[in-house]
Structure 1
Amino acid sequence: MPDRAKSFFWYELMTSDLEAAEAFYTSVVGWTAEPFDAPGVPPYVVVKAGDRGVGGLMAFPDEVRESGMPPAWIGYIGADDVDAATASVKASGGSVHREPADIPGVGRFSVVADPQGAVFMLLHANGPAQPPVPMDAPGHIGWRELYADDWESALEFYSGLFGWTRDDTVDIGEMGTYQLFAVDGEQNGGMMNRPPQVPAAFWQFYLNVPAIDAATRRVTDNGGTVTFGPDQVPGGQWVVTCTDPQGAHFGLVAPVR
């Protein structure tokens, strides 16, 4: 277990249509978008809530497009030493999709997956770390959710590598158990065994919006699809899950309907 717990802190959409994705998410979430220009880096758009970056949008690199990967949001977990953390992922039964490499002007990263195949990235960013963002900060990621083959072994994997801890357990009826996890004592997300209609393990991220019904209308008005909800969850918040027009999965979470 690391000396200090690590969490997701950056989120990246790989998409088949960068321009359309930028238009969709800025309309739905209210983000502003800025191009990021650096030598050797493909076209990349940074999306911001206020003056704080939330994540980035990029078109599929050729090798990813050729692999048949669908559009998807992928999260970055912070690492003090990307090479060592990547080796730990592999030693713990995970896989490495891209070995550690440097991004000019950004930092060092790798692309990995947990033992059940859910993909995430590791990143050590150049420069000083920014302070954590409150879980309910508008336009930021308000919840992280893992659809796993076996949530218990998944929690053991992430706890061992990143210091996450078990939090509340929620009975969700026929769907089984929803296990919350905490980072440094704060609830950070949940895990559950994936239902039959979900073909593979993956991470889904929920974006904070002011009110769920208005945000849901913005999704459908801009060509997206609502796949579940609106539904009220324990604690009183409202959620929906969606796909964007290119097919990437994401969620929305709001304090009111």
Structure 2
Amino acid sequence: MPEITEYAPGTPSWADLLAHDGQVAKDFYTTLFGWEYQDHPAGPDMTYTMYTHNGQAACASAEAGPGQEDLPPHWSVYVTVDDLEAAVERAQAAGGTVVFGPMDVTPMPDHTVGRMAIIQDREGAFLRLWYPVAHAGAGVMMEPGALCWFELATTDPESAADFYQQVLGVEINQDENVQEFPYWLMTLGDQMVGGIIQIGEDWGPVPPNWGVYFGVNDVDATANHAKELGGSAIVEPRDLLDFARFSVLRDAEGAVFTVIRLNDWH
């Protein structure tokens, strides 16, 4: 597929992993997905690892730095905005919290790759807002080996839908095609950009969070390989309605992600 060079405002465009041991993360994901990686300086004694799929930027990881030692390993989602300060103001007005920023992301002197802020929605889920300068986001999506979907798990989908419609300018409606469980779709025009699902009582102590899906050619084989690499399965491979097969996994340090294969991939 051609390299993606820009994302419409309101579109999830990037994801990165906070790891306790950066090398463990690199070994796990490069082996599981066949990615290559390159380490980049990200400040004093800090490294930002960029993963590539077929030569195009796929996602990234970073080792926990000072003040992050107690955070569990986890994936974070970035959404592109065209005015960072305005988006932050909308988040505050809608009842959210600004956790960090806005700030320039300048890994090297005189090289600003973008501007970022971290917000927390009403229910507590964290989201990164991204204003691109030199880094638009993932150069590839929606294929095996790449990010494919972004999903908010929350305790109050209606409240979350109201919040993100105000902040991101997306439309969010319940998906009438899904009868088995309530599901909400985020759309920009005719493009689906994300989903919202309610945290079930049987999930255990799961806080509201944004999660990532990666495309794979074989869900069952990938889940088994993840276990061989020290990961585990939260949801064993299963069919998703009539259009996909998926599995929810933990990596070797416990970070949660989902793998999926769409039935129309040939």
Deviation string 1:107-144 (CA, Å, 9 cap, x unpaired) is: 2111111111111111112137479745x322221111
2:195 equivalent to 1:190:
yes
**Unmatched runs of 5 consecutive residues or more in structure 2:** 1-7
How many pairs align?
Answer: 248
Aligned to 1:163: 169
2:61 equivalent to 1:57:
yes
**Separation in structure 2 between the aligned mates of residue 128 and residue 47 of structure 1, nearest angstrom:** 14
2:28 equivalent to 1:37:
no
Shift in CA distance, 38/74, structure 1 to aligned 2, threshold 3 Å: closer
Deviation at 1:41, TM superposition (A): 7.7
**Separation in structure 1 between the aligned mates of residue 159 and residue 97 of structure 2, nearest angstrom:** 15
2:74 equivalent to 1:72:
yes
2:179 equivalent to 1:177:
no
Aligned to 2:84: 82
Aligned to 1:22: 26
Question: Counterparts of 1:87-106 in structure 2 under 5 Å?
Answer: 87-104=89-106, 105=111, 106=113
2:14 equivalent to 1:6:
no
2:247 equivalent to 1:245:
no
Q: 2:165 corresponds to which letter in structure 1?
A: S
Partner secondary structure for residue 137 of structure 1: coil
Q: Are 1:5 and 1:184, in contact at CA under 8 Å, matched by a contact in 2?
A: no
Deviation at 1:99, TM superposition (A): 2.0
Deviation at 1:103, TM superposition (A): 1.4
2:224 equivalent to 1:220:
no
**Separation in structure 2 between the aligned mates of residue 144 and residue 232 of structure 1, nearest angstrom:** 18
Candidates 104, 124, 134, aligned match of 1:117:
124
Q: 1:229 corresponds to which letter in structure 2?
A: E
Q: Are 1:41 and 1:103, in contact at CA under 8 Å, matched by a contact in 2?
A: no
Give the TM-score taking structure 1 as reference length: 0.88
Give the TM-score taking structure 2 as reference length: 0.86
**Separation in structure 2 between the aligned mates of residue 102 and residue 177 of structure 1, nearest angstrom:** 38
Deviation at 1:40, TM superposition (A): 5.2
